[in-house]
Chain A
């Protein structure tokens, strides 16, 4: 190979190398470009996704802005919807946040005894008292609401003489306060009656104790008498046996034998007839005397026998009496035992054998604190329904409704934006209301914080409820009227005005238990009063969420029906 050839080959190889390098470079560039393209495509896709997301928020922002403008367009509307609920709550808390009730009691008695004055004195603590001139005036004062209670006392009321009762008149139509006042007055009167009763019971206890001592004494006397009578009885028994042991037996004298003996003796002794006759006469006299003695002895015998019988009778009488004494003794013993067995001998225990004390499970607070869940729930119900309906109906009656409804935007957007704008207003309302509540019940701030989520959830339901009304009605006045009606129904079928337990119809009572107002009130009460947590109320939360979902769906359906009707009738 020549040099030239070698050089040519080298040049060729360098050229090939260069070409290969260029090709490699080009392919590298191509790969780079493709990679860039892929990268930019990925970026574009990502960008589109982000834009889509941003677009969603941006669209929702403008729609919410529009709804807020419709709702809070004027300054007056803004004040009404944002501040009024908190102002109402503030007013209510100011007015009722106290335990001193300005309750007026009118009393009447034909003549006031010391006892009457004493009772009235007791009543005067915490109440405003006024004496009425006549019974009728006293009752009329309650009727005309110049007084809350009329207490009529019997003339010269005294414990000893008076059987009449104290009459208390309250206005039952004011069920909210009537029960409260009557129970307060009854408790005060009961306190006085207890004092008086204690005196009575003390007297009775003293008498019983004295009787017990007497019984013990009388028992020993009876025992003495019994032993003495026993002794007498024994003695009488001895006498009786002595009498029984007297031998009243005798034999009659046979005078013929004596005469025969005399005859024998006469013969033997040659006694004269006259002697014999004398002897006979003497025997005869003796016989007569003996006979007379026997007859007397017979009398003694019968007398002893009679006395013995009487003695027996008396002994049996004594035995009966002794038995009676035993019974008396036993009775006295029983009485003593009963007295001894009396478990309660202190007057306090006799007057009120069972001590009762009503204790509240909820924290001791002012009256309005207990009513707080109802008040806040009422405000949220009323404003939620009202705002929901007004937002929708204002859009419906606006000039822009045609353009809005014919725009290529899904109804879900409109429903969501109306709901969210209302929810924003409600959130502000809740924050303000909780602020007011905290000013009065500082110590329960955590509980109020917890309950705000529930309040928002319940409000959501009421907003959807209002939105449904707004979709149904096409005039603002009608929608407002119905909103008030529906709010009232929710209110009446809750515990706020009357306890739901007083609902007679079982079906209605059951339905009312599922009233969102009742559920909300219940949960707020549990949270604020007892500090319960979400885990306990999760079922209720699910229930509320279900209600919200149902009403969202109803809003969607009614809105579409409206659209269909508008298209069909050409009325927008």
Chain B
């Protein structure tokens, strides 16, 4: 059994099912990325793991014990929320000291941790600044520091680098990776950007419509999905049902769908598909307006898995 086990979890908000029969196992010390589009249930999943939300159905286990009955779980989990959960009117240091105290840490230990975290998250020069005066990016880093202040066993990061520029994002994530490795911290990170997850995550779970669509290392997913070509075609009639019906039967087709008035085909052998497509085009006496062929990148893979 992993460090965290999510078992048949369902979470409803009124009648809206956000997570449905979700199963996930997170191992100790691993960095797991949860990818998905906005509203797919990533934050809900983190909230459930943190014990801040109760599942409608199913159970979540932490170190083999149901978190429903595990009182000390909050000591072991650090959660960096998307919105930021700190006092804007307090300085960076005041926030960290306060949250350290809430975790029953001694003041000497807190001071040491504050210095360490400010160094790692490049906030050292801003420790006396009020949180509300910080830039969005700095606030994100402060949020991470708040989540790490009590030296948690598991760090939950909800889209942590959304407001950071790409260079800083990579830098911060790398520092975080090193830090977590050193302290043996398990990281669960949610993101809409697969590249972000790619920086630190050993495994990535693709979350779509409340379910884990796929789970594996970034490399595995790349191998699994990145050999595909994407053909986007637009015809004058924009009637693609014939194409869809016929292409679906083909072996080398991964996915066929209609999107924005175009036919989108994800396949492995594009030439064969071209032949097929042009045949149908000729038969139906339709006119080709636009044709685009692209290779599936890691980002596109993620997009493809969730949006296609």
Contacts and interface: CB of A to CB of B under 8 A. Distances in A.
B98 A66 contact: yes
A393 to B, nearest CB: 15
A399 B79 contact: no
Contacts of B146: 403
B44 interface: yes
A505 to B, nearest CB: 44
A567 B101 contact: no
A502 interface: no
Contacts of B85: 399-403
A65 B102 CA distance: 13
A567 B52 contact: yes
B101 A59 contact: yes
B101 A400 contact: no
Interface stretch (B86-94, B197-205, B228-236): B86-94
Contacts of B75: 408
A158 interface: no
Interface stretch (B103-111, B113-121, B172-180, B210-218): B103-111
A55 B87 contact: no
A570 B102 contact: no
A441 interface: no
A407 B79 CA distance: 10
A401 B99 CA distance: 11
A402 B81 contact: yes
Given A402-B81, A402-B85, A407 B102 contact: yes
A572 interface: yes
A409 B44 CA distance: 23
Contact of B52 (A70, A400, A402, A409): A402
A406 to B, nearest CB: 5
Contact of A570 (B44, B71, B87, B99): B44
A568 interface: yes
A409 B102 contact: yes
A391 to B, nearest CB: 13
A66 B89 CA distance: 10
A73 B101 contact: no
B89 A69 contact: yes
B54 A568 contact: yes
A570 B86 contact: no
B47 interface: yes
Contacts of A409: 102-104
Interface in A408-427: 408-409
A399 B102 contact: no
Contacts of A400: 85-87, 95
Interface string B48-82: 00111110000000000000000110110001010
A398 B75 CA distance: 22
Nearest to B102: A407
B54 A399 contact: no
A567 B54 contact: yes
A572 B74 contact: no
Given A51-B106, A570-B47, A73 B54 contact: no
B9 to A, nearest CB: 13
Contact of B86 (A59, A70, A403, A407): A403
Given A62-B97, A399-B83, A401-B85, A408 B102 contact: yes
A404 interface: yes
A566 B54 CA distance: 9
A403 B47 CA distance: 12
Given A62-B98, A66-B98, A567-B52, A408 B87 contact: no
B160 to A, nearest CB: 15
Contacts of B106: 51, 55, 58
A59 B50 contact: no
Interface in A515-572: 566-570, 572
A509 interface: no
Contacts of B95: 400
A399 B87 contact: yes
B304 interface: no
B51 A408 contact: no
A63 interface: yes
A403 B102 CA distance: 9
Contact of A73 (B83, B89, B97): B89
A354 B98 CA distance: 74
Nearest to B139: A399
A559 to B, nearest CB: 15
Interface in B1-41: 13
Q: Across the A-B interface, give the 7 residue pairs with the lowest CB-CB distance, nearest first.
A: A407-B102, A403-B85, A408-B74, A402-B85, A62-B101, A570-B53, A400-B87
Interface of B: 13, 44, 47, 50-54, 71-72, 74-75, 79, 81, 83-90, 95, 97-99, 101-104, 106-107, 146
27 contacts: A51-B106, A55-B104, A58-B106, A59-B104, A63-B102, A70-B89, A73-B89, A399-B85, A399-B88, A401-B85, A402-B52, A403-B81, A403-B85, A403-B102, A404-B102, A406-B51, A407-B74, A407-B103, A408-B104, A409-B103, A567-B52, A567-B53, A567-B54, A569-B13, A570-B13, A570-B44, A570-B53
Interface of A: 51, 55, 58-59, 62-63, 65-66, 69-70, 73, 398-404, 406-409, 566-570, 572
Given A399-B85, A399-B86, A408-B75, 13 more contacts: A55-B106, A58-B101, A59-B104, A398-B88, A399-B88, A400-B85, A402-B81, A404-B102, A406-B79, A407-B74, A407-B99, A407-B103, A408-B103
